[in-house]
Amino acid sequence: MQVMTSRIASLVLATAAVALPFASANAAISEWVSVQGGAVRLLSSERLESGDYQLGLEFSLDPGWHTYWRFPGESGIPPQLDFSASENLRTKTVLYPTPVRYSDAYSSSIVYNESLVLPIIVSPDNASEPVTINASLFFGICNEICVPGDASFSLTLSPKEQTDELAKLLIDNNLLALPKTGSPALEKIRSIEPFIDEGEEKLSIKADVSNGHTVDLFAEGPEGSYISLPSLEEQDGKSATWTLSTKGLLKSAEGHTKLTLLLVDGDTSYESEHTVKLEQ
Report CA dihedral (173, 179, 181, 185) to the nearest 10 degrees.
140
Per-residue pLDDT of the chain (280 residues; tens, 9 = 90+): 443 344 334 434 433 433 333 333 345 899 999 999 999 999 999 999 999 999 999 999 999 999 999 999 999 999 999 999 999 999 999 999 999 999 988 899 999 998 899 999 999 999 999 999 999 999 999 998 999 999 999 999 999 888 899 999 999 999 999 999 999 999 999 999 999 999 999 999 999 999 999 999 999 999 999 999 999 999 998 999 999 999 999 999 999 999 999 999 999 999 999 999 987 6
CATH code for 183-277? Answer: 2.60.40
* Angle at which helices 2-19 and 165-175 cross, to 10°: 170
Provide the CA 213 distance to its chain's centre, in angstroms.
22
Domain 2-175: which CATH number of 2.60.40.1250, 3.90.1150.10, 3.30.200.20, 2.30.30.30: 2.60.40.1250
Task: Specify the DSSP class assigned to residue 125.
Answer: S
For residues 271 and 8, is the Cβ–Cβ distance under 8 A?
A: no
The candidate with the shortest Cα–Cα distance to 118, out of 157, 68, 72, 159, is 68
Burial 107-146 (b: 16+ CB within 10 A, else e): ebbbbbbbbbbbbbebbbeeeeebbebebebebbbbeeeb
Claim: this prediction has a pTM higher than 0.85: yes
- Amino acid identity of 37? G
Which H or E run includes 170?
A: helix 165-175
Phi, psi of 2 (to 5 degrees): -70, -35
Tell me the C-alpha distance between 267 and 216, whole Å.
Answer: 11
Tell me the C-alpha distance between 229 and 226, whole Å.
Answer: 10
Same fold, 2-175 and 183-277: yes
* Domain residue ranges of the chain, discontinuous segments joined by +: 2-175, 183-277
Angle at CA of residue 105, ends 103 and 111, nearest 5°: 25
